[in-house]
Amino acid sequence: MLADGLGSNFEIERVGYKRYPICGMSHPAVDALRDLQREHGFAQEDVESLEAYGLKFVFDMVGRPYEPGDSPDVDAQFSLQYCLATVLLTGNISLADLAPEHTLGDERRDLASRISVDLDESLKGKWTARLELKLRDGRVLTRSRDKAAGQSDRPLSTDERAGREIPRFQRHGRSGDGCRRGTASVRPVAGAAAIAGYGTALRRAGAEKRDPARRVKRDGAPSKKAHRNR
């Protein structure tokens, strides 16, 4: 029935949080490569080969060779080769990595062309990705991920969310310290009794920043002095 669960089941609790500005089909493989980097501490020049495997759904969406055309940023977003090459070079992938100097640059195009993406019908789950990475010292590292970090059943940590938002703030001219303060100020929302109260606090802080002489009472109403100055 249409009203089943009304007032008790909330779809917003099942909303995912997209960690990277790329096709979601690439996220599990990107997460897997970043996990391996963090655990084993290798650099791009330490890698002899990298192979990625996925089911047909993943392969059809992001498995074709990276060949940028009229919209190189979109081509990069839908190329697992480009995304993995970027992670090997930078340790992450962000909107800045979709700029023409990167998507059309020789360095990433060359590295992407040396990463293979193949089918593996034995994998379970349409999002699942498996990586096989061979290092020049002879070590072979493997990792599988069946889901992307940020989905409702695999949420990002507070620090991971902050790490995603800080570069976005910086593109709009905020300093690194200012970005960290801004993300830290949002953290209490998760435990707030009411979002409306948090909104009031933000409006109050904004008003005081614009007019330091303005005084706002605890209930959010402007003081008499503020009324006279309007």
Residue-by-residue pLDDT tens, the chain, 230 positions: 677 777 777 777 777 778 899 999 999 999 999 999 999 999 999 999 999 999 999 999 999 999 999 999 999 999 999 999 999 999 999 999 999 999 999 999 999 999 999 999 999 888 899 999 999 999 999 999 988 776 666 666 666 665 555 455 445 455 556 555 555 555 555 554 555 555 666 667 667 666 766 654 444 555 554 445 54
pLDDT for res 130: 96
Q: Give the contacts of 56 (CB within 8 A, at least 6 positions apart).
A: 119, 121
CA-angle at 76, arms to 152 and 29, nearest 5°: 45
Q: Do you know the residue count of the chain?
A: 230
Q: Select from 10, 5, 8, 3 the least CA-distant residue to 152.
A: 10
Domain annotation for the chain: domains and CATH numbers? 24-145 (3.30.1330.120), 157-191 (no CATH), 197-230 (no CATH)
pTM of the predicted model as reported, rounded to 2 decimal places: 0.69
Task: Dump strand ranges (E) for the chain.
Answer: 47-54, 115-119, 129-135, 140-145
pLDDT for res 3: 76
CA-atom Rg of the chain in angstroms = 23
pLDDT for res 187: 55
Copy the structure tokens of residue 136: 């020049």
